[in-house]
Amino acid sequence: MMTPEQAQGLAAFLLPGTESEHKITAKLLAALPEDKLDYTLGTKGRSAKDLAWHIVTSELWFLNSIAAGEFSQGQPPEAPATAAAMKAAYESGFAEAVAKVQALGGEQLAKPVNFYNVYNLPAVAYLQFNLSHAIHHRGQLAMMLRAMDAHVPSIYGGSADEPFMG
């Protein structure tokens, strides 16, 4: 089990990373060309629009679920028609969701939360799941941007379109 103090320490470590990764995700969403939202890689891949919306809705779902202390199954809202609207929903939804998590006390962060009978971890541990999930799909989106010959922003260093400026 995790103590409330340990949970608060882990949250203090993971939340700044969550906010930092949010900025990178927002840059990728802003780089998505409006005229290429239907772009897919292969026959089994999601469209760029579906992938971008999955990133947005799952990140907000993870944060809101952590804050609520439970993971409930539900359908994400319908994707907006434009990349700009997806980014706007992400920006406003993120600010609200991360504030809820930041407001949690140590007891709430340490409380075990069932994740579909697969995991039963302290609520704070799901912040790392959220980060890993977002980073994974963001990598897919960055690859799609390159394949569609769109601007690929810097992520953890320079890209061919945004050189590293140390």
Q: 37 and 47 in contact (C-beta within 8 Å)? A: yes
Whether residue 166 has pLDDT greater than 70: no
User: Mean pLDDT throughout 15-38?
Assistant: 97
Structural domain count, the chain: 1
pLDDT at 73: 85
Q: Which residue has the higher pLDDT, 134 or 74?
A: 134
Label residue 164 by pLDDT band (50, 70, 90): confident
Cα distances (Å, whole numbers) of residue 123 to 22, 63, 74, 101: 20, 10, 19, 10
pLDDT at 78: 94
List, for residues 48-100, the tens digit of each pLDDT value: 999 999 999 999 999 999 999 999 988 899 999 999 999 999 999 999 999 99
In a domain, 164, yes or no: no
Tell me what the pLDDT averaged over the chain comes to. 96
65-100 b/e (C-beta count within 10 Å ≥ 16 → b): bbbeeebeeeeeeebbeebeebbebbeebbeebbee
In a domain, 38, yes or no: yes
In a domain, 162, yes or no: no
pLDDT at 1: 84
In a domain, 56, yes or no: yes
DSSP 83-128: HHHHHHHHHHHHHHHHHHHHT--HHHHHSEEEETTTEEEEGGGHHH
State which residues form the domain around 39.
4-147
In a domain, 71, yes or no: yes
pLDDT at 147: 96
pLDDT at 155: 93
pTM score = 0.94
In a domain, 166, yes or no: no
Strand partners, 40: 47
In a domain, 155, yes or no: no
Residues 6 or more apart from 7 whose CB is under 8 A from it? 106, 109, 110, 122, 123, 124
In a domain, 136, yes or no: yes
Strand partners, 47: 40
User: Mean pLDDT throughout 3-28?
Assistant: 97
Of all helices (H) and strands (E), which one includes residue 146?
helix 126-147
Q: 69 and 49 in contact (C-beta within 8 Å)? A: no
CATH of the domain at 122: 1.20.120.450
Query: How far, in whole angstroms, is CA 108 from its chain's centroid?
Result: 21
Reference 143, options 121, 159, 165; nearest CA is 159
Q: Measured between alpha carbons, how far is 89 from 45 in angstroms, rounded to an integer?
A: 23
